[in-house]
Structure 1
């Protein structure tokens, strides 16, 4: 039986554990953040040292699902595990860069929202020029954040510059690694979908929706972590194809693709190489068969490369 390391949140871990066990893959959670990790022994090789990581904690794994979200901690955890990843560091870094994803998809001829990236620090005039062709309201979002963190709308130039002032304050801190943000066209009536692609093929989708009370209160973000509800849907062939083409363009085997659909447009809004797994009934019947096959192939390819 293969042993799979899962560093994603408890929700995903609990959902994948039993279905993958039924397919001969033992799943164990590896905590990669908000803890102490041994980096080096501080003694002669082979000697025993006191460690913040439990003995054998990282031993016995054959493959990992997705690289840890925090890259600094991830480097230590990945070294300790010493396994191939279904989605490795490169896949996570690629998907996290929203502007880079949209640029790659646009270059490949895939439809995306009109978007400009601003790299701080810049003069106010640069921001004004960047949005000169946009209609208000617009979306302003950090380039690297997830779960809708820091995403705002601006109804006119003054409110946009007010949001930018706030970003400038945040970006002044030297510890802020990514100092870029996006200004993007707002599609207020768009339907919001998360399509899952596994090993190049569409594997199911959910539609993310706010309830009537949230909409009446003026809320518009459809992130599940912000209170939206995700229900399983059957996407049409055009949307399925677009999700598959996005994953192929980025070269990522296991990918959540966020689609926005209006009456006359279908666009890729973002991607996620560390997608939360929903309940199995919201995906295609063979979702876990295909995921298990991808996990096994990742382990097998690594073994062949290492002559095992």
Structure 2
């Protein structure tokens, strides 16, 4: 079986593990840099160009789309659809997961609990919204961010104004979100593959840090989800339409809240914490699409 992994580089942990898992299962695996790919429409000869040359299409694809090339990744996924190449990530699900507000709106419409959130288009709006959200601190976020970059904590109105001004120079919209103090800097990442949860870990922020991201020094331990949280995770994945995803929950006084859905989740932290062969589960799921 020929598997194509659309990824920025073979040295990335998640990509490397997928290659190892695919080869261990007896498949041929090629890493394709999607930043060098261009969909090409020429009637019956439509294809994907890789570095200007027609790409030999894999039998099945595993897209690992980088956050900074989402638009290109979406066009490649749609081209795979047009060419009849099975894969494990829909373009619509990727777009929805990458836009934090759109994702939360879809979840809220499905009666899935999410943190109190306000979308703001100006510093003036952000200041007015902050006054209605309750006591500080308040979380300020870019709509598209990863590894905790573009997420900050405002402890007063002056800090919020400065953060809003800075973030609005990078994107035209920002999010204000309630700070869940009772979480004590911890959240849960559940990894969904197909119709099941293959692993879950609790991430705890480093001292002096509120973001529970592994790239920010957080520690992680394997956890067993409650039946209620398992149902919440799977409802979330189905609502967003993701087949392979990291679903992030944060504990609160009103129960677990869905913070985020990652359509291209990293494997290093959760495989290290849980010792589960998640890469193998993803490869086997991709093969099942044939």
Q: For each residue in 1:208-260, what CA deviation from the matched residue of structure 2 results, as whole angstroms up to 9, or x when unmatched?
A: 2234xxx1xx2221111222233322222222221111001112111110111
Counterpart CA distance in 1 for 2:252 and 2:74 is 41
Q: What residue number does 2:30 align with?
A: 28
Secondary structure of the corresponding residue to residue 136 of structure 1:
coil
- Compute the displacement of 1:25 (Å): 3.5
Which residue number in structure 1 is paired with residue 238 of structure 2?
Answer: 248
RMSD: 3.1
Q: Work out whether residues 233 and 282 of structure 1, in 8 Å CA contact, stay in contact via their aligned partners in 2.
A: no
- 2:159 is aligned to 159
Give the C-alpha shift of residue 39 in structure 1. 7.4
The correspondence of residues 16-165 of structure 1 with structure 2, limited to 5 A, is 16-33=18-35, 53=51, 58-66=55-63, 68-69=65-66, 70-74=69-73, 82=83, 83-118=85-120, 120=121, 122=122, 124=124, 126-131=125-130, 132-165=132-165
Q: Which moved more, 1:64-73 or 1:270-279?
A: 64-73
Greater C-alpha Rg: 1
Q: Is the 8 A contact 1:67 1:92 kept in 2?
A: no
For residues 263 and 284 of structure 1, the distance between their equivalents in structure 2, rounded to whole angstroms, comes to 31
Deviation string, structure 1 residues 81-127 (Cα, Å, up to 9, x no partner): 75332013222111011111111111211111111111x2x361x32
Change (3 A) 1:167 1:115: same
Query: Which residue is 2:263 aligned to?
Result: 273
1:28 aligns to what SS in structure 2? strand
Deviation at 1:195, TM superposition (A): 0.5
| Shift in alpha-carbon separation, 1:75–1:281, aligned structure 2, 3 A | closer
Distance in 1 (CA, whole Å) between partners of 2:64 and 2:17 is 18
Q: Which runs of 4+ in 1 moved over 6 A?
A: none
Q: 1:79 to 1:240 in 2, by over 3 A?
A: closer
Show the counterpart of 2:203.
208
Contact 1:193-1:258 within 8 A present in 2 as well:
yes
Q: What is the Cα deviation at residue 24 of structure 1?
A: 3.9
Distance 1:19 1:3, change over 3 A: same
**Deviation readout 1:16-66 (Å, 9 max, x if unpaired):** 222233334433211223xx56777xxxxx9xxxx982867x314112212
- Picking from 271, 296, 299, the partner of 2:287 is 296
Determine if the alignment matches structure 1 residue 230 to structure 2 residue 228: no
Q: Give 3-state SS (helix, strand or coil) of 1:113's partner.
A: coil
Determine if contact 2:201/2:220 at 8 Å carries over to the other structure: yes
Structure 1 residue 184, shift from structure 2 partner = 0.3
Question: Aligned partners of 2:140, 2:224: CA distance in 1, in Å?
Answer: 30
Tell me the SS of whatever aligns to 2:212.
coil
Shift in Å, 1:77:
5.1
Q: SS at 1:146's partner residue?
A: coil
Q: Which runs of 5+ in 2 are unaligned?
A: none
- Structure 1: runs of 5+ lacking an equivalent: 41-45, 172-178, 301-308
TM-score by length of 1: 0.77
How many correspondences in the alignment? 274
- Higher alpha-carbon deviation: 95-104 or 17-26: 17-26
Asked if 2 retains the 8 angstrom alpha-carbon contact of 1:4 and 1:25, the reply is no
